[in-house]
Amino acid sequence: MTVFKTATAMALLMGTSAMAEGSLNLYVWSESIAPELIEKFAEEYDVDVSVDGYTSNEDLLTKLQAGSSGYDIAAPSQHFLRIMIDEGLIENFGADKLEAYGNIQEAYRNQWWDETQEYSIPLAYGTAGFAVNTDQYDGPTDSLKYFFEPEGALAGSIAMLSYPDEVVGAAQLYLGVPFCSEDPDEMKRVLDLLMAQKEHVAAYSSDNIAGRLGSGEVASHFWWDGEVVRAIADGAPLEYAMPKEGLVGWIDSMVIPKGAPNRENAIKFIEFISTPENATIEMNYYSHSSPMTIIDADKEFTEENAPALYPTVPVEMSRTCSPKAQDLVTRVWTQLLQ
């Protein structure tokens, strides 16, 4: 956990009578929020801010379902956001009445995961696919075939995420199986593909992907567009594939968990980070595209220097599946990892 204390709170620790105006506890994707924005918010609003990170929507959902998380803001992806609304896990904080709502780009307002936009304000969007280390592999990347049926330098040298979300979606795109399929035969094809691929998978892990891929420990890794952009900016020899079958899309949004202890500070932060100025800072740090109105002149990642953020292939957004379809996905993943 990272903790940012305001000058006032630091004074309190030093024995003065000053008091911070409460706390704010974030539970968000690891390293997703710009540290300078956390510090800026803490100073401007005199609030102690703590940040915990997760690496999967499943981890977040489990935490909220357990109740009394103590967190004030979380950032689920769209299909998990829909589950959280339906299960009563997050607050209706009237997001559509905030100034932040007016800063959402039109294309990202009132979508199926939050039709009335009362529960969420979007933070970032992007895609999931595969990246290759170009020092290890210089072959074609225009099809998911090279990842799911690896040959040559990719054989035995690829890595997957540690959970099924998006990975199974990519396999479905490759096979032409619809997302949220309730057909056992279709999902058996997905399992067969992943089982055949398994002998070439060096790791199923969602941690230390940058190190594993950038160091050449593996030649290819399932990953997210923005993380690849950030790694390339840091000097890693990587390429994000644009497979003709398409990419799996996602959009993460800020929500307030039910019973959040610092609800008003959460709303202040959501308003704060959603202004054009701060949304631009956030995009430049996180390296994923922003669904908010940003300052184009200050945007660091463009189509020319970060093509991964500007897909040239179809993008299929992950869906909220029926219990029957989700059970088939769980069965595929459980059998794969046995």
Q: Quick check: 1 pLDDT over 90?
A: no
∠ CA 249-255-261, rounded to 5°: 155
**CA quadruple 144, 148, 152, 153: dihedral positive or negative?**
positive
Contacts of 309 (CB under 8 A, 6+ apart): 126, 225, 226, 229, 287, 288, 289, 301, 303
- The pTM for the full model equals 0.89
Give the residues across from 125 on adjacent strands.
251, 289
Give me the pLDDT at residue 162, please: 92
Give me the pLDDT at residue 56, please: 87
What would the pLDDT profile of 286-300 be if each residue is shown by its tens digit?
999 999 999 999 999
pLDDT band at 97 (very low <50, low <70, confident <90, very high): very high
Q: Quick check: 272 pLDDT over 70?
A: yes
What would the pLDDT profile of 138-157 be if each residue is shown by its tens digit?
999 999 999 999 999 999 99
Residue whose tokens read 């529960």: 119
Question: Is 311 in contact with 288 (CB distance < 8 Å)?
Answer: no
pLDDT band at 17 (very low <50, low <70, confident <90, very high): very low
- First vs last Cα of the chain: how many Å apart? 32
Q: Look at phi and psi of residue 26 and say left if phi exceeds 0, alpha if psi is from -120 to 50, else beta.
A: beta
Q: Quick check: 14 pLDDT over 70?
A: no
Give the residues across from 262 on adjacent strands.
none
